[in-house]
Structure formats: structure tokens, C-alpha cells
Amino acid sequence: MNGIRDNNVDLQVVMKLTKMLDDNNVHAKSFRMASERLRHCGVTNLKLKLTAERNSDGRINNLPTVSEI
């Protein structure tokens, strides 16, 4: 696997973790695909944009940023 140079790293574990992330996390898979495209195609202007519809009022449902009520 590219980027892994440590001889103590078990490549089977890395490959299984990579597959698990790809199967269960669409963002991890998208970033990996973008990385592969950059590496193999020489693309220099690739942009990955994460978009989602907001179904609730963020001012109400966001986690608090201060410790006061």
C-alpha cells in the first residue's frame, strides 16, 4: 500500500480497515478515490465538495460552544 513504509505495520490489517471504511463511510471512500485520481492521473485542480441538506435549525441543534446555560 502506498505511504506505508514501516515494516511493523500488518498490511492485511490495513487492507481490512480500508475496506471497512470504504464499505461504511462514504466520506472516507470519496477522499480515497480523490487521492487515487490525483496520484494516477496527474490531476492538479481536483476539488471535493461535501454538501448536505440542512433539515434542522443549526442554531438550535448545534452543540454548545461555551459552558454556560
pLDDT for residue 23 is more than 80: yes
pLDDT for residue 48 is more than 60: yes
Contact 9, 46 (CB under 8 A): no
Question: What gap in Å lies between CA 29 and CA 23, rounded to an integer?
Answer: 8
- 0.95 exceeded by the pTM? no
8-19 tens-digit pLDDT: 888 899 899 989
**Residue 59, by phi and psi: left (phi above 0), alpha (psi -120 to 50) or beta?**
alpha
